[in-house]
């Protein structure tokens, strides 16, 4: 079976394809996607062994995409819905998903596998993710039997401060925390210091979109917020991306919230 030529306009889809062992299908990605190195270890985006960069997440160049002659274009999130429709109107096959919860994200691994002809690999990846989540739940269960879950405030944007939504409330709960700021599946929303302080968080987690882990915790400390919380910076994709990296993020968050549950 011939591998499909795939252009991924969604970093989460790119990461999921890599986890499926299907990165070789990629002929095009956005400048926001993280791709594997080539056989020589190069990460140069002009390297002919790596997928062509077609532009930004919301601003891909249609002419570049056309030259790549893809069999399938991958998009994700409601912000890319119009983009997906535009490429369908141009005659391309588009696989578009808008996951809102942790379950949606994990189910998406299998759906994407099927879309690129890797159905069994997709099912295995989704099953492995669920097994890892079950392992986290088992690890934190003893701690939660003895004490209330710690309150966690997750910030995905800092100007203005935005409490993370979508699958992040599920992720906090899966890691053994309580998240009183946004309901699972709801969009992220702006919050103020009085509201956050009233919830009395034990932990503040900064995973600011587009910043990786290059965030100064003083962005919170310097506000006029009455908080007595530990502040942590996570690489943004670990919570913002509905790919297998989200499961990595939940495991990391669980170790922050319940370090004694995991030993070494």
Q: Tell me the per-residue pLDDT of 103-147, one tens digit each, with 9 for 90 and over.
A: 999 999 999 999 999 999 999 999 999 999 999 999 999 889 888
The pLDDT of residue 147 is 87
**Does any domain span residue 12?**
yes
Give the whole-number percent of the chain exceeding pLDDT 70: 94
Alpha carbon separation from 215 to 15, 67, 140, 167, 196 (Å, rounded): 22, 38, 28, 22, 19
Please return the burial class of 197, using the count of CB atoms within 10 Å of its CB with bins 0-12, 13-18 and 19+. Answer: middle
Long-range CB contacts for residues 87-95, cutoff 8 Å, separation at least 24: 87/62, 90/62, 90/66, 92/65, 95/13
Judged by DSSP in three states, 247 sits in helix
Q: Return the SS3 of 203.
A: strand
Q: What percent of the chain has pLDDT over 90?
A: 88
Q: What is the pTM of this model?
A: 0.93
Overall average pLDDT of the 20-33 stretch:
95
Q: How confident is the model at residue 48, as a pLDDT?
A: 59
Residue 1 pLDDT level (bands cut at 50, 70, 90): low
Same domain flag for 92 and 155: no
On whether both 249 and 157 belong to a single domain, the answer is yes
Q: What average pLDDT does this structure show over 235-257?
A: 97
Other C-beta atoms closer than 10 Å to the C-beta of 145 total 7
Query: In terms of domains, do 66 and 163 share one?
Result: no
Confidence band for 264, pLDDT divided at 50, 70 and 90: low
Tally the domains of the chain: 2
Does 119 reside within a domain?
no
Judge if 11 and 73 occupy the same domain: yes
Indicate whether 14 and 74 sit together in one domain: yes
CA atoms lying within 13 Å on the CB side of residue 12: 26
8-state DSSP, 221 = H
CATH number for position 37: 3.40.50.1980
Half-sphere exposure of 172 (CA within 13 A, CB side): 28
Position 112 in a domain: no
CA separation (Å) from 232 to 10, 158, 215, 237, 257? 26, 14, 10, 15, 11
* pLDDT tens column, 12-23: 999 999 999 999
- Each residue's pLDDT tens digit, 197-227: 999 999 999 999 999 999 999 999 999 999 9
Whether 67 shows a pLDDT value over 60: the answer reads yes
Residue 222 placed within a domain? yes
CB 210 within 8 A of CB 237: no
Predicted confidence at residue 46, as pLDDT, reads 52
Confidence of residue 37 (pLDDT cuts 50, 70, 90): very low
Confidence class for position 40, pLDDT limits 50, 70, 90:
very low
Same domain, 170 and 255: yes
Mean pLDDT across the chain = 93
Together in a domain, 163 and 242 = yes
Where a domain ends, among 40, 71, 98?
A: 98
Q: Does 52 reside within a domain?
A: yes
Contacting residues for 26 by C-beta, under 8 A, at least 6 apart: 6, 7, 8, 14, 17, 35, 51
What's residue 3's pLDDT? Answer: 85
Q: What does 74-134 look like in DSSP terms, one character per residue?
A: EEESGGGHHHHHHHHHTT--EEEE---SHHHHHHHHHHHHHHTT-HHHHHHHHHHHHHHHH
In whole angstroms, give the CA distance from residue 256 to residue 24: 35
- pLDDT of residue 43 exceeding 70: no
* Residue 85 CA: distances (Å) to CA of 52, 78, 98, 100, 236: 22, 11, 13, 20, 28
Mean pLDDT along residues 156-174: 97
Asked whether residue 84 falls in the same domain as residue 12, the answer is: yes
Mean pLDDT of 30-46: 61
Range of the domain at 231: 147-261
User: What does the alpha-carbon distance between residue 238 and residue 246 come to, in Å, rounded to a whole number?
Assistant: 5
Give a yes or no: residue 14 inside a domain. Answer: yes
């Amino acid at each position: 079976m011939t591998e499909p030529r795939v252009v991924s306009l969604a970093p989460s889809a790119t990461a999921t394809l890599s986890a499926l062992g299907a990165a070789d299908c990629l002929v095009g990605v956005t400048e926001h996607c993280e791709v594997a190195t080539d056989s020589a270890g190069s990460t140069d985006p002009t390297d002919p062994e790596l997928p062509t960069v077609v532009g930004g997440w919301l601003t891909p160049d249609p002419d570049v995409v056309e030259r790549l002659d893809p069999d399938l274009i991958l998009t994700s999130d409601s912000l890319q819905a119009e983009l997906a429709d535009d490429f369908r109107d141009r005659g391309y096959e588009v696989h578009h998903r808008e996951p809102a919860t942790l379950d949606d994200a994990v189910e998406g691994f299998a759906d994407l596998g099927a879309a690129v002809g890797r159905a069994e690999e997709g099912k295995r990846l989704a099953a492995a993710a669920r097994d890892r989540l079950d392992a986290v739940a088992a690890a934190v269960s003893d701690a939660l039997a003895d004490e209330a879950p710690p309150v966690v405030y997750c910030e995905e944007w800092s100007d203005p401060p935005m409490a993370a939504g979508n699958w992040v409330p599920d992720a906090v709960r899966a890691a053994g925390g309580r998240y009183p700021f946004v309901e699972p599946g709801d969009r992220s929303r702006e919050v103020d210091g009085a509201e956050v302080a009233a919830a009395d968080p034990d932990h503040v987690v900064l995973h600011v979109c587009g910043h990786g882990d290059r965030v100064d915790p003083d962005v919170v400390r310097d506000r006029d917020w009455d908080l007595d919380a530990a502040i942590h910076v996570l690489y943004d994709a670990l919570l913002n991306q509905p790919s297998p990296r989200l499961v990595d993020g939940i495991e990391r968050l669980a170790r922050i919230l319940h370090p004694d549950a995991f030993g070494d």
